[in-house]
């Protein structure tokens, strides 16, 4: 029998092959639990002790806790993982049985791989292990799409692994503007390297939009001739509000700042807007599409979400980007929009508040990366070769290739100074 291309006669399997696999459970093994999300490794031994299953959120807004499945607590049946009825209920329960400390366990995938003299080999990517015992056979290093294409991947046998060093952390990270500001608050050595430019290769238009939206039929409620845009959010108090998440720049931080400015006597901090009080109900979509769907299916009266994560599902009004993202613009969901918009196809919403947001950076921990390497990174990332790499930047007319960015929105990376993010800091 084959399981995702691997003979079941073989005891070896990889994290890539199992990631995303549907997991079932219950007494009959037919209850849908979720999909495999990540793998947990022994703190001292080179073996997998189990994996974490991501459970789907209820109604796109209620988060459910992940489920830990021990290495001896499942079976593979017809391409699915079936949790055995007697499997440990939690990672802590399994660790107690095995005499381990749950907090000492390791998530290998994504960790940096270093030689004893400090040379970096990339990060841990695909791990091959014994599906019955968890014993690691080998793993591949992952250096990112561009480096992998140029240099290939390295396969490192398990017997070459000497151990783990805690506190190494990441040297580079691609993050949103607010995420960068929060990371820098914890470590002042975190600085921005580059961000995605506008289509002219400049910083002037290196932005996207945070929008507060309402159903099209309710837009007249927010019309305000005294405002330059023709709309205001002065009637939003007491409504049911949907945000993206409490850590989202454009889906929480920016709209909260606009609300606090409009209601200085009612709201003193964004924390007050994360729970009912100013609003009659507060929902979190956990994604920009999730927040939009909360609005369109009638669970919220108003919702915050950005343009770049949502507009691919929409029939966007014709015109310049700045214009169509302005208050008063009306959008409709495409007739063939996929999940999660498949249940709100044809529904319309309008913008009542729109704020440009600075593109997030690729940031560097300057404690971990020497200046000469930083200079080389900036030179490489802002090069023509990088902007023409279709694994990173897809041509405007090319869809579905898995690229992270579209050349319809940017010309590539551009170097950025720390002070450029001062407007985001001012939102606090």
295-329 pLDDT, tens digit per residue, is 999 999 999 999 988 988 999 999 888 899 999 99
Q: Confidence band (pLDDT; 50, 70, 90) for 400?
A: very low
Give residue 402's pLDDT: 53
Give the chain's domain count.
3
231, 346: one domain: yes
Give residue 170's pLDDT: 62
* pLDDT of 7 higher than 70: no
Rounded Cα distance between 387 and 80, Å, is 40
Neighbours of 214 (CB within 10 A): 25
Rounded Cα distance between 224 and 104, Å, is 57
Q: DSSP code of 58?
A: B
152, 283: one domain: no
Rounded Cα distance between 200 and 356, Å, is 17
Where b means 16+ CB within 10 Å and e means fewer, 277-301 reads: ebbeebbbbbbbbbbbbbbbeebbb
Q: What is the pLDDT of residues 63-102, one digit of tens each?
A: 567 889 999 999 888 878 999 888 777 788 888 888 888 8
Closest CA to 151 of 194, 122, 116: 122
Domain finish residue from 169, 189, 217: 169
Give residue 221's pLDDT: 95
Give residue 62's pLDDT: 46
Better-scored residue on pLDDT, 202 or 108: 202
What is the layout of strands, in order, in the sheet containing 22-25?
Answer: 67-70, 48-54, 31-41, 22-25, 80-83, 74-77
Q: Confidence band (pLDDT; 50, 70, 90) for 352?
A: very high
Q: What is the pLDDT of residues 127-169, one digit of tens each?
A: 999 999 999 999 887 655 444 444 456 788 888 877 766 555 5
Handedness of CA 210, 216, 219, 221 (dihedral sign): negative
66, 119: one domain: yes
144, 276: one domain: no
21, 86: one domain: yes
Q: What is the pLDDT of residues 38-60, one digit of tens each?
A: 899 998 889 999 998 887 755 44
For the chain, the average pLDDT equals: 84
132, 230: one domain: no
What domain range includes position 390? 172-204+359-425
Give residue 66's pLDDT: 80
End-to-end CA distance of the chain: 57
Helices (H) and strands (E) in the chain, counts: 10, 26
163, 222: one domain: no
29, 163: one domain: yes
Better-scored residue on pLDDT, 30 or 394: 30
5, 125: one domain: yes
Better-scored residue on pLDDT, 142 or 62: 142
Domain finish residue from 358, 373, 393: 358
Domain finish residue from 358, 381, 408: 358
* pLDDT of 398 higher than 70: no
Determine whether 119 is exposed, middle or buried from the number of CB atoms within 10 Å of its CB (0-12, 13-18, 19+).
Answer: exposed
Give residue 397's pLDDT: 54
198, 96: one domain: no
310, 393: one domain: no
Give residue 370's pLDDT: 87
Give residue 126's pLDDT: 86
Better-scored residue on pLDDT, 363 or 394: 363
Rounded Cα distance between 146 and 149, Å, is 5
Q: Confidence band (pLDDT; 50, 70, 90) for 2?
A: very low
CATH number at residue 223: 3.40.190.10
418, 277: one domain: no
């Amino acid at each position: 029998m084959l399981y995702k291309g691997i003979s079941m006669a073989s005891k070896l399997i990889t994290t890539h092959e199992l990631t995303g696999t549907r997991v079932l459970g219950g007494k009959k093994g037919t209850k849908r639990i979720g999909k495999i999300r990540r793998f947990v490794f022994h703190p001292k031994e080179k073996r997998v002790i189990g994996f974490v299953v991501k459970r789907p959120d209820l109604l796109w807004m209620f988060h459910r806790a992940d489920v830990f499945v021990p290495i001896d607590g499942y079976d593979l049946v017809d391409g699915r993982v079936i949790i055995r009825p007697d499997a440990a209920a939690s990672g802590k329960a399994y660790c107690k049985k095995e005499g381990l400390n749950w907090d000492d366990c390791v998530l290998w995938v994504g960790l940096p791989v270093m030689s004893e003299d400090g040379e970096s080999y990339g990060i841990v990517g695909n791990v091959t292990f014994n599906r019955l015992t968890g014993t690691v056979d080998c793993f591949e290093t992952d250096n990112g799409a561009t480096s992998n294409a140029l240099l290939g991947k390295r396969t490192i046998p398990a017997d070459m692994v000497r151990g783990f060093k805690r506190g190494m952390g990441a040297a580079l990270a691609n993050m949103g503007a607010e995420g960068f500001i929060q990371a820098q608050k914890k470590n002042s050595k975190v600085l921005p390297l580059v961000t995605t430019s506008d289509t002219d290769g400049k910083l002037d238009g290196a932005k996207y939009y945070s929008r507060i939206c309402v159903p099209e039929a309710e837009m007249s409620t927010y019309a305000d001739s005294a405002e330059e845009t023709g709309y205001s959010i002065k009637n939003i108090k007491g409504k049911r509000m949907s945000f993206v998440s409490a850590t989202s720049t454009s889906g929480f931080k920016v709209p909260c700042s606009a609300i606090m400015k409009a209601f200085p006597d009612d709201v003193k901090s964004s924390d007050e807007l994360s729970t009912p009080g100013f609003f009659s109900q507060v929902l979190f979509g956990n994604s920009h599409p999730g927040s939009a769907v909360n609005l369109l299916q009638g669970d919220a009266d108003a919702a915050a979400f950005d343009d770049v994560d949502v507009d691919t599902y929409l029939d966007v009004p014709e015109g310049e980007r700045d214009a169509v993202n302005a208050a008063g613009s009306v959008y409709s969901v495409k007739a063939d929009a996929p999940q999660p918009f498949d249940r709100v196809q044809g529904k319309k919403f309008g913008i009542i508040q729109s704020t440009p947001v600075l593109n997030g950076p690729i940031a560097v921990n300057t404690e971990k990366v020497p200046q000469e390497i930083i200079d080389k990174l900036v030179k490489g990332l802002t090069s023509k070769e990088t902007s023409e790499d279709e694994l990173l930047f897809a041509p405007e007319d090319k869809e579905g290739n898995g690229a992270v960015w579209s050349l319809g929105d940017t010309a590539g990376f551009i170097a950025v100074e720390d002070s450029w993010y001062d407007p985001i800091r001012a939102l606090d």
